[in-house]
Amino acid sequence: MYNSISSLDIIVKTISGTGTLPIQTMHKITFCAFAKAGLSLYGATNQQETEIERLTQTIPASHRALTNGKLYLNALSFVKSFNQFLKKPDESVILKEANIHYILDFLKDRVGKVGAIVVLDCGSIPEIITMAGKFTTLNHNTAIFDQAFINPIGATSFVTGQMPSFGREAFLRQYAQLLKETLKAKFYIKSSTIDLITHQEGVTIDNFLTSLNMQNIFDQINHFAKQNSVLITSDHGYDLVADEHGLYITHGYKKECPLNFSKIALFMVVD
Ligand SMILES: [Zn+2]
C-alpha cells in the first residue's frame, strides 16, 4: 500500500509536465487516466469503455496520448495495488490508518507545523494529484505522504463519528479545526464543493468534470500557499461506478466498482 502511494509521485511529475494547460484540463487528463485504469481492471463493457473514450476525445490532441501511455500505466499499477489492499483488509487498519488519533500522531511527527489546513469533503486522488502537478509547475514543493487516512465506509460519518472521542461535536469542520490545532496552523478551510457535486441526482462523469470548478478550488488553496505551507486532505474520496446506467460518481459505494477511492484520503503538503 505505502509503496503504491509513493508511486503517485511519478504521476504528479508527469501531470506537472502539462502545467501550462488550464487546471480544468489537467484534471480531466488525470481523471481519464485513472478512470481508464480502473475500467480495464474491472472488466468494463464496450459501452462503458466508449463513454470514457468519448470524454478522452475532448482532451487537446497534443496531450490525449497521456491517458493511454505513461499516465495510464502508472495509474494502472496504483489502482491494482490499491485494490489488492482493499481485498485483504488487515485488522490493524481500524487501529491505525482509520483511527484519527493515530493519524494526528503521524502528522505531528511527520509534518510538524503548517500555515493552513484545507479539508476538501470528498476530495479524491485525481484532484490531489492535479493540484500537486499545478503547484509543482508553479515552483512549489509538494509532498504526498505515504500514510493515508483509510475510511472503510467511504463516508463523512466515519470521520465525524470519531470527533466525540476528542470531546468535539460530530461535524467535519471539527476535524479541520483539530488538524489546525495539532499542526499549529493559523487558518483552516472546510469545503463541501466536491461532495455537493457527487450528490447531484445521476451525476455522469461528464457532468462531474464540468461542474467541478478546479480553478476555484485551486485559487482558494493558492491564496494560502503563496504565503505559507498548506496541508490538504479530505474525509473520503469518491467512487467511479460502472453499471447498466453507464458511468457515474458517488461515494460509499458498497459493491465492486472500477475506482473505490472513497475509502482513501491522502495528505499533501504544499510549501
Ligand atoms: Zn457526501
Instruction: Return left, alpha or beta for 202; rule: phi > 0 is left, psi -120 to 50 is alpha, else beta.
Output: left
- Does the reported pTM lie above 0.85? yes
Q: Please, what's the b/e burial string for 220-246 (b: 16 or more CB within 10 A of its CB; e: otherwise)?
A: ebbebbeeebbbbbbbbbbbbbbeeeb
Q: How confident is the model at residue 2 (pLDDT cuts 50, 70, 90)?
A: low
Å from CA of 18 to ligand 1 middle: 30
CA 121–ligand 1 middle distance (angstroms): 7
68 C-alpha to ligand 1 centroid (Å)? 31
Of the pLDDT bands very low, low, confident and very high (cuts 50, 70, 90), residue 95 is confident
Distance 256 CA to ligand 1 centre (A): 19
Q: What is the mean pLDDT of the chain?
A: 94
Check residue 1 and give its pLDDT: 64
pLDDT at position 244 is 87
Q: How far is the CA of 239 from the centre of ligand 1 (A)?
A: 11
Q: What is the pLDDT of residue 181?
A: 98
Segment 220-250, tens digit of pLDDT: 999 999 999 999 999 999 999 999 889 999 9
Cα–Cα dist 50/56, whole Å: 10
Output the CA 120–ligand 1 centroid distance in Å.
11
Q: How confident is the model over 37-53, as a mean pLDDT?
A: 94
Q: Is the pLDDT of residue 7 over 90?
A: no
Pick the closest to residue 205 from 197, 214, 216 (CA basis): 197
For residue range 107-146, what is the model confidence (pLDDT) as tens digits?
A: 999 999 999 999 999 999 999 999 999 999 999 999 999 9
**Closest C-alpha among 9, 1, 231, 228 to residue 107:** 231
Whole-number Å distance, alpha carbon 86 to ligand 1 midpoint, is 21
Say how many Å lie between the CA of residue 199 and the centre of ligand 1: 6
Question: Ligand 1 centre and the CA of 130: distance in Å?
Answer: 21
- 204-222 pLDDT, tens per residue? 999 999 999 999 999 999 9
* Per-residue cell: 237: 474520496
- At residue 23 the predicted structure's pLDDT band, cuts being 50, 70 and 90, is very high
Residue 4 has pLDDT above 90, yes or no: no
Largest CA distance in the chain: 53
257 contact partners, CB below 8 Å, separation of at least 6 = 38, 42, 239, 240, 241, 242
The closest of 124, 129, 137, 7 to 73, measured between CA atoms, is 7
In DSSP terms, which residues pair with 233 in a beta bridge? 119
Residue 225 has a pLDDT of: 96
For residue 6, what pLDDT is reported?
78
Evaluate if residue 93 carries a pLDDT over 90.
Answer: no
Whole-number Å distance, alpha carbon 157 to ligand 1 midpoint, is 9
Residue 3 confidence class, pLDDT cut points 50, 70, 90: low
141-197 tens-digit pLDDT: 999 999 999 999 999 999 999 999 999 999 999 999 999 999 999 999 999 999 999
Secondary structure tally for the chain: helices H, strands E: 14, 10
Gap from CA of 237 to ligand 1 centroid (Å): 9
